Structure 1
Amino acid sequence: MIKLDVFGRRMGVEKLASGWRLYYLDGEGKRRLADEVVIPVFVHERGIERYLADIFHESASPEISEVRRLPE
């Protein structure tokens, strides 16, 4: 799973044969499916951060203005 900080919100992205699956992550290792967000199958792993930045741009602030990959 690719772990990301999406404008201050911890999220995880999992690659499946049918495309991508997005999760909200908490500090205890639990995850909840973010089924309201669809990541198209054509989005490459290198483009995940940019795609999520486009989707969640309204959550950006001057203090937290980017989507970044977190260490595994």
Structure 2
Amino acid sequence: MTALKFNIFGILIMVAGSPGAWRAFYPGTDGKRRPADFIVPADVAQHELCEYLADLFHEEATPRNNTATEIKHA
């Protein structure tokens, strides 16, 4: 199972699962995560997740928070 983390205009979002079975979460500062209030459609491929989330949250963009990126783990 894939677990990916994104910073979408300052909003941290985790997406777990695989294409066709994605589950989105908001990570908490306490290490817990709560289910997101949106779904990722089954036809969104892994390489399309960041763009999909940016499109979904575009109204949250501000001059200070204007990027959508995947947070890569080193």
TM bin (shorter chain): 0.7 to 0.9
2:19 touches 2:46 (CA, 8 Å); kept in 1?
no
Gaps of 5+ in 2: none
TM-score normalised to structure 1 length: 0.86
Alignment of 1:23-62 (within 5 A): 23-34=25-36, 36-62=37-63
TM-score normalised to structure 2 length: 0.84
Q: CA 1:7 to 1:17, structure 2 compared with 1: closer, same or farther past 3 Å? A: closer
Which secondary structure state, in structure 1, belongs to the residue aligned with residue 59 of structure 2? helix
Which secondary structure state, in structure 2, belongs to the residue aligned with residue 32 of structure 1? strand
Structure 1 vs Structure 2 CA RMSD: 1.5
Structure 1 residue runs of 4 or more that deviate by more than 6 Å after TM superposition? none
Q: Deviations over 1:20-56 (max 9, x none)?
A: 110001222210001x311111100000000001111
Matched, 1:69 2:70: yes
- 1 CA distance for matches of 2:33 and 2:60? 20
Which secondary structure state, in structure 2, belongs to the residue aligned with residue 13 of structure 1? strand
Count of matched residue positions in the alignment of Structure 1 and Structure 2: 71
Matched, 1:21 2:50: no
Residue identity matched to 1:29? G
Which secondary structure state, in structure 2, belongs to the residue aligned with residue 19 of structure 1? coil
Report sequence identity in percent: 32
